[in-house]
A and B are shown apart, each in its own frame.
Chain A
Amino acid sequence: MGKRLAPYMLVFPGGAWLLLFFLIPLVFLASVSLQTGNLFDGFRFTWHVRNYVDAIDRYRVQFLRSLLYASIATAITLVASYPLAYWIAFRGGRHKTTFLFLLLLPFFVSFVIRTLAWRFILSDDGIVLGTLKDWHLLPQSFHVLATPTAVIAGIAYNFLPFMALPLYVALDRIDRSVVEAAHDLYANRLQVFLRVILPLSIPGVFAGVLLTLIPAVGDYVNAFILGGTKTTMIGNIIQLEYLTNFHYPVAAALSFVLMIGLLIGVFAYARVLGARSLEEYV
């Protein structure tokens, strides 16, 4: 009987965790998103589907903006971390672990603090921009903070390791004899990369994009600290509706729309890049 029950026993801790901390809160969230009321009188369940209509109607711009910012930031992290991961995997030698440690080193400081540090470094008359302006390399009115660029750069900076690590894993486990075989078959270096290494690293790209894009869409810290006017992301709105306005139903509806939108996106993406790689990597 031990044999028959073993799989269930193995799945129990994770399953119970998911049920308790994901599924039940999710049902609660679904319920709240269909309620009406206010903080003083309480909220009652009324199948109020209008919350969804309101949520999408009022915050369409912020939804699209979040998607745009997160997509650009993801593309930046991909372009920036592929060579990095490649270099560590193929040229890192015996110092690989040191390089990986360096990559993770920023995680030892809270990312809010690191983002605040950027605000200090990039302030209009700060150590970077102030100096460049003094040398007349930049016009006086130039600024980085409080722009969409700053928010996107902040997201890319904060999520870079989430992209780099899966890429590294994918690249590192490529069988070197396959690469040698390609060389033996007279492939030049570009051909080796394009026809052997790149296709074999696609699962890493896939996982990296998921790990970066999904949290980045919901991120609100970068927009809050580095943004200005018209850079508010959907995460900021959900926070505002939940915590400042106490419009729990609208906030819950927003969260659901975001989640469902991302799920649809992920499944579409998985169909394109292949579900096999998803199973292999996540």
Chain B
Amino acid sequence: MNRNDRPIPLHLDPALLRGLTQRRLSRRDLLKYAGTGAGALSLSAFLAACGVSGTKTNPTTGASGTSASPTADLLKEIYGDGTPAGQLVFANWEDYIDVDENGKSPTLQQFTKETNIKVTYKTDVNDNDPFLARIIPVLQSGGDPGYDLIVITNGGPVERMIKLGFLWPLDHSYLPQFAANASEAVTDPSYDPGNTYSVAWQSGFTVIGYNSDAIKEPPKGFADLLDPKYKGKVGMFGNNQDLPCAALVHLGFDIQTSTPDQWQQAADVLIKQRDEEIVRQYYDQSYIDALENGDTIITQAWSGDLFIAAAPADFGGDGFPEIKASIPAEGGILWTDNMCIPKGAKHPVDAITMMNFVYDPHIAAQLADFIWYVSPVPAAKDIVLNEIDDPLVANSSLVFPSLDDLAAAHKYKVFKDQAEEDEWNSIFQPIYTS
């Protein structure tokens, strides 16, 4: 047998193999650096050489964000022959998976049992932007982001990562459960046509959470968050979607067709709320701690968190029964958190195996019954109703809303281009970074 056509031994760690075979420094790069050295004689040229290169044409992904479908070669390069590495690092948000009385997740345990893939589950995502801020510099330098599977939200974060070419395309031949069971609401979404780079983890509504010991009359709408009688005890989200969208909806504007003039009006409402010291603080995921320990008594909230906060501790909840959810009269604001594989992930096959696994209706039912967010698998409803026997969850419009409800819901702003997003951010960001 010739040396060269000897098959690559299968037990080789695919990550190691990729490291060995991937190109590190191309001839073109080398010429570029050589040119830099020659030009360093003048200060101006030297300063110019410090430029930060963009990611528009990224040779290793071939994805510029607009390309329709990834090439078979690229998928082959990423997923190889489909042999999992046996481990998975999964970055998710707090309170976002089922937990039993021992603090273990039945879903993850079952996954490990069935696939032999060990999962390192980290609740490292407190908010999209700061989380991505941690991994983007690593991705820019072509390094290992340290996660195989991340969960990030639509309405900016997912779109940005796709545009930057920092997500690996998904090979849908590994996702038969997704094809069979995913809700219409999460297939082929506008922010990721054809689910090329992402599949939904859960969706959810931004609603109002309150402490029923302190507030007897349930809040009716976003106007309650502006009420001076809650001065200093109101929590708002410090991000570019939840905060602005609530104000726009409160003023009766349509988020998607709203104009910069209307954004300014919404900003004025929020600035007034801040300057009258009604807002205590602009929060990330930590808003739920603030609500639990009494720092706030009424707050913007993500629907499922409130149920986990209220559930008794021996049920895996946080044990604060006084915490309640209120769906504002104007309607909640719908978003979707998506599972994505960051470019350079060490165990992509394991990650896509997990994506497929959670679309099994039984698993989806198990998750939905615990975390109370909007399940991406409608078939899970029957299982929650009949097998798990939890009609409260199965019939909840917050967990299994009808397709009509979902279609009618307010949704995070979809930006038509960078300029629009920049303008939006320049109006709303100064409010919560004052």
Contacts and interface: CB of A to CB of B under 8 A. Distances in A.
Contacts of B425: 245
B50 A230 contact: no
A35 B277 CA distance: 38
Contacts of B136: 246
A126 B133 CA distance: 33
Interface stretch (A4-12, A26-34, A73-81): A26-34
Main secondary structure of the interface of B (DSSP, over half): mixed
A5 B370 CA distance: 72
Interface residues of B, number: 35
A237 interface: yes
Contact of B54 (A40, A45, A120, A243): A40
Contacts of B130: 243-244
A229 B129 contact: no
A43 B51 contact: yes
A143 B232 contact: yes
A219 to B, nearest CB: 16
Interface in B131-161: 133-134, 136
A199 to B, nearest CB: 44
B50 A45 contact: yes
B53 A42 contact: yes
A123 interface: yes
A192 B48 CA distance: 60
A154 interface: no
A124 B163 contact: no
Interface residues of A, number: 41
B56 A41 contact: yes
Interface string A238-281: 00101111101000000000000000000000000000000000
A161 B133 CA distance: 32
Interface in A105-133: 120, 123-126, 130
A35 B434 contact: no
B418 A40 contact: yes
B433 interface: yes
Interface in B415-431: 418, 425, 429
Given A39-B164, A40-B418, A31 B293 contact: no
A215 interface: no
Contacts, number: 103
Contacts of B294: 123-126, 130
B47 A230 contact: no
Contacts of A35: 51-52
A240 B433 contact: yes
Given A126-B293, A146-B280, A245-B425, A31 B50 contact: yes
A141 interface: yes
Nearest to A249: B52
B411 interface: no
B274 interface: yes
A228 B277 CA distance: 10
Interface in B259-293: 274, 277, 279-282, 293
B295 A229 contact: no
B109 interface: no
Contacts of A228: 279-281
A125 B434 CA distance: 26
B55 interface: yes
Contacts of B429: 240, 245
Interface in B294-320: 294-295
Interface string A218-241: 000000000111101000110010
Contacts of B279: 228-229
A213 to B, nearest CB: 24
A38 interface: yes
Interface of B: 44, 46-48, 50-56, 129-130, 133-134, 136, 163-164, 231-232, 274, 277, 279-282, 293-295, 418, 425, 429, 432-434
Given A38-B54, A232-B433, 16 more contacts: A27-B50, A37-B52, A39-B164, A40-B55, A40-B418, A42-B51, A42-B52, A61-B434, A124-B295, A125-B293, A145-B295, A146-B232, A146-B281, A229-B280, A230-B274, A237-B433
